[in-house]
Structure formats: structure tokens, C-alpha cells
Amino acid sequence: MKKVVLLGDSIRLIGYGTVVPGLLEGRYKVWQPSDNCRFASYTLRMLYDYRDELKNADIIHWNNGLWDECNLFGDSSFTPVEVYADTLKRIAAILKNITDKVIFATTTPVTPLNPHNSNETISKFNSAAVNVLAPLGVRINDLYSLVLPKTDIYIRKDDNIHLTAEGCLACARQVADEIKRIDS
């Protein structure tokens, strides 16, 4: 059975990561950290701690972005977009040394009522991610485009950022499909 690793922030942890293992059951063994991978820099740091679990991974799917582009204080994103892009390149290089089948999921949109995250900034960060990762051979899973037309259905109204049950299922199906596609 092939080994799949899922890495990412809460969009994975309490979102699609809760559904993907069931969608891949019988064909893949899925490992994912019980921790929220937060910022891209946090994910980079934690790759060292996850090194035993990452060994022999056949496919790695990961996301980062909502923490990086968040603007809690009204002065700018936590992570400058250039630093974000550079950190993603570093993560990709490490993951590509484990397997050539690496997938990066774009950051999901938020509702217009989210006071700290904006789709304009998310789009900018997604563009930077695609621009640095695609040339490295990282497959891009565009969750942003999947969720954007249905934010009213796929994004929770209580926090304007996390996936609803319907959003989890839609994203999980796309993640599972991308995993199967890269493996064919």
C-alpha cells in the first residue's frame, strides 16, 4: 500500500484532512500530523520533527497560507509574500528529496466578513506560490478556485475562514482526486 502524507494548516487539520483518509482507504495509507502546521516557516521547522513519518512517502500533499497572509493588526501580512515564496521553495526542496510526487494546495478564500484575511491578499500569495513551485515540478491543487464561487456554502459563517462540512467534502474529493492523478 502506498503512503500519502498530508501537511497543512487548519484547512487540512479540521477540514479536508478529516475526510481524505476515508476517500483513499484501501489504496493508500495516510499519515498527517495531529498538529496545525500554521505558517509556512512553522511547517519548514516541523519537517525535521516529522522526518520519520515522512520517510518512504510516495505522495505528499501540503498547504500553507492563511496564517502567513493574515493581517491581525492592520499593518501588513504576518509573513512578507517574498519570504513566504522563499519558504515554500525550501519546503518543496526537502519534500522533493523524499518523493517526486509533491502537491501544493492553494490557500482557500475567506468570506468578505473576515476582518483579518482578504481574498485579494490570498490571491497574491497563491500567485507567488504557483510561480515558485510549478517550475520545481510541484503539482498545484487549486482549492482557491474550487471554493471561491461557493464561499457562502463552503466557508463557515461563525469564523468566515474555515470549511463547512460541505466545504470539507468538496476539498477532500479534490485532494483525493489529485493524489490519484499524480499516482497514475
> Sorting pLDDT into bands at 50, 70 and 90, what band is 129?
very high
> Sorting pLDDT into bands at 50, 70 and 90, what band is 71?
very high
- pLDDT for the residue numbered 58: 98
pLDDT digits (tens, 9 = 90+) for 144-155: 999 999 999 999
pLDDT digits (tens, 9 = 90+) for 10-61: 999 999 999 999 999 999 999 999 999 999 999 999 999 999 999 999 999 9
- For residue 26, is it left (φ>0), alpha (ψ between -120 and 50) or beta? left
E strand segments, the chain: 2-7, 28-31, 59-62, 102-105, 139-141
Mean pLDDT, the chain, rounded, equals 98
**What amino acid is encoded at 60 in this protein?**
I
**Cell 520517510 sits at which residue?**
55
- Residues above pLDDT 90, as percent of the chain: 99
**Cα–chain center distance at 141:** 9
E strand segments, 33-137: 59-62, 102-105
**Cα–chain center distance at 26:** 23
**Cell 515554500 sits at which residue?**
88
- pLDDT for the residue numbered 59: 98
- Write down all domains in the chain, each with its CATH number in brackets: 2-183 (3.40.50.1110)
pLDDT digits (tens, 9 = 90+) for 98-116: 999 999 999 999 999 999 9
- Residues above pLDDT 70, as percent of the chain: 100
Separation CA 43–CA 37 (nearest Å): 5
